[in-house]
């Protein structure tokens, strides 16, 4: 028997407006949307709270944080996946592209070991068992200068729900680490790498970029096509880099580091993704362009929680405030990311779409979640 539910007397965040009304869910779908403040018998009275689509997260490192809660600690994978899934649901995320790194340097003591293939298998086993609260896809972060990239990518196929392949190049002196001191701070904090050891690490990366970069990049692009995945660029900094990405068929630009790069992305029809923590903190932790600056220039399309899942809804609300348009702010974490990766069945409060929904109210500028539904089922 199909279960039905009505969320009434709510402020519905629709594609381009906020309207008071009710949403009716039957099974896994939205089947009706009505206007007004009335609360039919048996309906949930939302008391004027917002009802919005479930959040769509394209780039989060959160699963890796659960796997390695401290340096040198490898947490049991099934437990880590379930904790990650529950945390995302509790922050309003109902669709996630779990970022997993592919490409390592076994010769470097500062690097870890390949893990993505095994972790993906464990993730899908839990999904098949019906234990996950929300919808999961893979986001393979391809470190194009790393020694094992080709072998790591070749372990995946079209059956693996790889939704995104992003081209990563963390060679010192460019892109995210144009300021090498930021990389030095990061490696000191996370790996204890300083002085001559850090210099040797940088030399190794630069040598690998010259030797492995071009063929590995070509292989990653070919793999994205083989998987049927969206190709994403990462940390493009200037016109030449963006146009190089566009020539590969990149469909999403993750964290461009300058206004120039973001402008060229838009010239090429590539939506720009920035980190929600950047919005909330008022700037990039790497010293690159502030997301709010791109928002003011009309150059910000998608938000990612990046390393703080709870940042996604808060960042979207703050963008809504900045733009004076809550629907536009929420679209950066719902409709626009869903469209960017070809998910036609979610991302908007609309008849026929999946009943992925969140309920929240504002305490000052902070959203307080009151409920999360994934495919019509309560997830948090």
The C-alpha atoms of residue 157 and residue 247 are separated, in whole angstroms, by 24
Which pLDDT does position 177 carry in this prediction?
Answer: 63
Residues 6+ apart with CB under 8 A from 197: none
Number of Cβ atoms within 10 Å of the Cβ of 48: 11
Which pLDDT does position 58 carry in this prediction?
Answer: 98
Q: With a threshold of 0.75, does the pTM exceed it?
A: yes
Structure tokens at 37: 């403040």
Q: What digits encode the pLDDT tens for the residues 333-356?
A: 999 999 999 999 999 999 999 999
Which pLDDT does position 284 carry in this prediction?
Answer: 82
Number of Cβ atoms within 10 Å of the Cβ of 70: 7
**Does residue 262 contact residue 272 with C-beta atoms inside 8 Å?**
yes
**Does residue 10 contact residue 50 with C-beta atoms inside 8 Å?**
yes
Sheet containing strand 230-234, edge to edge, reads 55-60, 93-102, 135-143, 162-168, 230-234, 252-254, 272-275, 302-304
The CATH class, in words, for 4-378 is: alpha beta
Which pLDDT does position 178 carry in this prediction?
Answer: 61
228 burial (CB, 10 Å; 0-12 / 13-18 / 19+) is exposed
Sign of CA dihedral 228, 337, 280, 50: negative
189 burial (CB, 10 Å; 0-12 / 13-18 / 19+) is exposed
Helices and strands counted in the chain (H then E): 13, 16
Structure tokens at 29: 């779908």
Residues of the chain with pLDDT under 50: none
Residues 6+ apart with CB under 8 A from 1: none
Which pLDDT does position 303 carry in this prediction?
Answer: 98
Q: What digits encode the pLDDT tens for the residues 49-100?
A: 999 999 999 999 999 999 999 878 899 999 999 999 999 999 999 999 999 9
Which pLDDT does position 204 carry in this prediction?
Answer: 73
Full DSSP string of 170-191: --TTSGGGSSHHHHHHHHHHHH
Distance of CA 169 to the CA centre of its chain: 18
How is the chain split into domains, by residue range?
A: 4-378
- What φ, ψ does residue 358 adopt, rounded to 5°? -130, 150
Residues 6+ apart with CB under 8 A from 85: 132, 133, 134, 136
The C-alpha atoms of residue 305 and residue 57 are separated, in whole angstroms, by 7
Beta strand 135-143 with 93-102: parallel, antiparallel or unpaired? parallel
């Amino acid at each position: 028997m199909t279960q039905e539910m009505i969320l009434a007397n709510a402020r519905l965040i629709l594609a381009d407006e906020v309207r008071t009304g009710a949403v009716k869910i039957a099974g896994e779908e939205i089947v009706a949307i009505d206007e007004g403040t009335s609360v039919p018998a048996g309906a949930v009275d939302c008391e004027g709270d917002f009802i919005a689509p479930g959040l769509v997260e394209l780039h989060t490192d959160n699963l890796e944080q659960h796997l390695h809660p401290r340096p040198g600690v490898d947490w049991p994978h099934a437990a880590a996946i379930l904790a990650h899934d529950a945390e995302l649901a509790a922050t309003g995320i109902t669709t996630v592209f779990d970022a997993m790194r592919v490409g390592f340097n076994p010769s470097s003591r500062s690097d870890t070991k390949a893990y993505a293939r095994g972790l993906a298998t464990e993730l899908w086993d839990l999904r098949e068992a019906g234990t996950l609260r929300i919808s999961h896809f893979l986001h393979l972060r391809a470190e194009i200068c790393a020694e094992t990239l080709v072998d790591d990518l070749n372990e995946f196929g079209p059956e693996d729900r790889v939704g995104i392949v992003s081209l990563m190049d963390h060679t010192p002196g460019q892109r995210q680490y144009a300021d090498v001191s930021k990389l030095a701070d990061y490696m000191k904090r996370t790996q204890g790498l300083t002085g001559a050891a850090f210099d040797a690490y940088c030399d190794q990366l630069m040598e690998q970029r010259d030797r492995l970069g071009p063929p590995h990049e070509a292989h990653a692009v070919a793999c994205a096509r083989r998987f049927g995945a969206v190709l994403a660029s990462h940390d493009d900094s200037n016109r030449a880099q963006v146009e190089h990405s566009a020539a590969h068929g990149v469909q999403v630009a993750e964290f461009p580091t300058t206004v120039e790069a973001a402008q060229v992305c838009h010239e090429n029809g590539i939506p720009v993704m920035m980190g929600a923590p950047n919005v909330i903190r008022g700037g990039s932790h790497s010293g690159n362009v502030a997301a709010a600056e791109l928002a003011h220039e009309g150059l910000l399309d998608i938000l990612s929680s990046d390393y703080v899942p709870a940042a996604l809804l808060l960042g979207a609300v703050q963008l809504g405030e900045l733009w004076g348009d809550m629907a536009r702010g929420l679209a950066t974490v719902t409709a626009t990311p869903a469209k960017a990766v070809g998910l036609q069945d979610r991302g908007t409060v609309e008849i026929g779409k999946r009943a992925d929904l969140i309920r929240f109210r504002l305490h000052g500028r902070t959203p307080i979640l009151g409920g999360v539904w994934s495919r019509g089922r309560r997830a948090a």
